[in-house]
Structure 1
Amino acid sequence: MQFSDIVGQREVKEHLVRTVSENRVSHAQLFLGPEGSGSLALALGYAQFISCSDRLENDSCGTCSSCRKYSKLIHPDLHFSYPFFRGGEKEDGMPDLEEWRDLILSNPYFDLDEWRERLDAQNKQPNINKAECMNILHRLSLKPFESEYKAMIIWLPEYLKNEGNRLLKTLEEPAEKTLIILVAQNQDQLLNTIISRTQLVKIPALSQADIREHLLQTKDISEAKASQVAYLSEGSLTAALNYLKEDDNDNFRLFSGWMRITFADRGSSIFEFVEEASKIGRESQKNLLKYGINMIRECIMVLSGANELVHLPSAELDFVNNFSKQLDLARAEALINEMDKAHYHIERNANPKILFLDVSLQFVKILKFNTLPAGTQYILT
């Protein structure tokens, strides 16, 4: 992957190029950026740039033997490690390598849920276990086969847990001409011993302008739609691509109907909604909750007098303007809090019927009976 293929991140690319031109390539680096920022793509672009035999001033050439192999992710000096979903203590991630390559080549901005879906992992938990750590150490002990450097990219090292301590000596004193890049999203979930042995490269969320331009160049959508999706994605190209996959009208129908029946406290309709929501699948449930959070944030914009910042299609805009009249800031924040908690529990395989019924009843308390959930510390206006 060339830097020119990667969306935005101009300053990060310039920094990475300088480390090579000034011969300051750290052997162990932590690329830390939020989901959808392009951290994995940057790691691939960096490794390809370092291995390129005919580098340009600011990018790899894309045509030499090394670049051609990197473009297919089959370079013998390029290694990967990633969370997988099998439970055997002696199993590592190698059986999933072809699926891993295919997923990156189709979309380098994928997330863990898409990786889970690709492997049909269902409710299994991701893991980077002892066997995988031993496999990492083995591959790092090999000499470079073709290029000056061998590169190991470890995606989501948050799942190393305590097994990551097996890698500490190698992170501190790797073999010569070794590049180890850990691509992480949450620093708080990383072992401090790993953080202290790597050079941090902070990768920011993408700008709305970068996401908008990318969507216009790669997707057959209008400028208005590209601007709307870029705005709602909050700097994540992953989120933007997921929004385009969704049936927006169905999310709008489900969420607006949910708000109406909970505001009116229509018991039978609430049970009908819970039944429908429990059948749409875990990813669709998560997307519905994300959509709802964004819609209530738009309501907060209206309540705060920032109507000019609301960029929505007419039907959604009408809903936001009308629903905002039934809210104040405290209730809007309480609704977001309930949906955020529900999203957390859906990710952890909560029973959807029980969860959506509980959230619906909380909504009734917030909207109908002027009651915030117990322990919620908001000041009603």
Structure 2
Amino acid sequence: MTGFEQVIGQQEAQKRLLQLVDEQRLPHAIMLCGPMGCGKMALAMAFAAHLLRRNANDAAMLAKWEHPDLHFTFPTIKLPSMSADHKPVSDDFIRQWHDMIKGGPYFTMTEWMEQMGAANQQAIITAGESDALSHKLSLKSSQGGYKVSLIWLPERMNIECANKILKLLEEPPQQTVFLLVCEAPDRLLETIRSRVQRIDVKRIADKDITDALIEQRGLMTDKAERVAHMAGGSWLKALEALKADSENEFFLDMFQTLMRMAYARRVKDMKTWSERMATAGREKQKRFLEYALRLVRENFMYNFGERDLCYMTEREEDFAKKFARYINEANVIEISDLITLAIRDIGQNANAKIVFFHLAIQMIVLLIQK
């Protein structure tokens, strides 16, 4: 599938894009802006396919996202194998890119970095990319229609690249449409922002996420509605919630155990608990603490009795029914600060046993302030 059927919700944005074509008002550059997971890239890819699909041959090439008149630009890294003077370009990673987008148009920068085999590098769009793109777009359309330049995360262009792209936008090659997919438009040059028609893509409606979870993932309605509510308008967060189920079950067990031990002041058991947490890797320890921070917030909000303000699974909510009253105005800030401090300490490679035991002991003091 390469059309709008891949896009979850966003009927309003789809209609606006198609109207531009139908009414012959298609600008040479469009920038789709919106939060992560709202489907900006899905919309851009579907619209690019719509512009390029003229016959069965086009459709066959687009099925693999290898149409000669579709040019992808995306952030890249410099590999150790590259020469010192080489400026990485998208073509250096086009095989990895195609491998990723064949899996669907919803993905994160983290997934892309993993696909490239990145370590601690910063992914950017280099001046080498703008030179390569300028050359590609100077050629005639291979299939006699549009040429489409789809730029994912243009805010990651370095200044040299941004200035060269600006020149392309000021004097666009014939029959070329630029589609920019942006999450941080304020980081772009003002002159670039002024050369594009901006379309803001809103969060996905909960109902659209619910329907997609039922149709694509086979979820029962109740679970689909709960996951959609927790996703907050992001299909990526909905998928993350499904993937994280098993880990989050473990995190909830550990959170419940910590809070019950703190309430009962079982110091000896707390030592065992902290030793168990210390056996997890640093990244998992941080994920647990971030989970605990979220659950503190959700339990505090649960006290207000407004379901729309809470984003919890059924098991988490069952626990909150009895526990939430212990997280209140008297301690919520201090508990949050305590967990935030633990996240920092774990990130700085502090002794995990000490960090988690300190967290547990301090929780005794804070929970009795109910």
Specify which of 141, 163, 166 is matched with residue 165 of structure 1.
Answer: 163
Q: Any gaps of 5 or more consecutive residues in structure 1?
A: 55-63, 372-379
Moved more, 311-320 or 360-369: 360-369
Tell me the equivalent position of 1:272: 275
For residues 1-381 of structure 1, the aligned pairs below 5 Å read 1-53=2-54, 64-86=56-78, 90=86, 91-163=88-160, 164-246=162-244, 247=246, 248-259=248-259, 266=267, 268-269=271-272, 271-272=274-275, 274-277=277-280, 279=281, 282=283, 288=288, 291-307=291-307, 312-329=312-329, 331-332=331-332, 350-351=347-348, 353=350, 368-369=365-366
| Distance in 2 of aligned mates of 1:360 and 1:11 | 52
Which residue type is aligned with residue 76 of structure 1?
Answer: P
Q: Structure 1's 337 and 129: CA in aligned 2 closer, same or farther, altered over 3 A?
A: farther
Task: Give the unaligned 5+ runs of structure 2.
Answer: none
Task: Decide whether the 8 Å contact of 1:339 with 1:359 is kept in 2.
Answer: no
> d(CA) in 2 for partners of 1:356 and 1:86?
38
Aligned mates of 1:174, 1:47 — CA distance in 2: 17
- 8 Å contact from structure 2 (residues 37, 236) kept in 1: yes
Q: Matched residue pairs, number?
A: 358
**1:89 touches 1:131 (CA, 8 Å); kept in 2?**
no
Whole-angstrom CA distance in 2 between matches of 1:335 and 1:285: 17
Question: What is the rounded CA distance, in whole Å, between the counterparts of 1:129 and 1:19 in structure 2?
Answer: 31
- Aligned-partner residue type, residue 318 of structure 1: D
Amino acid at match of 1:176: Q
Pair member with larger Rg: 2
* Structure 1 position 359, deviation (Å): 8.7
Distance 1:134 1:356 in 2: 52
The letter for the 2-side match of 1:133 is: S
The alpha-carbon distance between structure 1 residues 5 and 307, as it changes in their structure 2 partners (threshold 3 A), is closer
Deviations 1:292-347 (A, max 9, x none): 4543343133221225865755532232223312111474456567768988x79x
- Residue pair 2:327, 2:367 contacting (<8 A) in 1 also: no
Give the TM-score taking structure 1 as reference length. 0.81
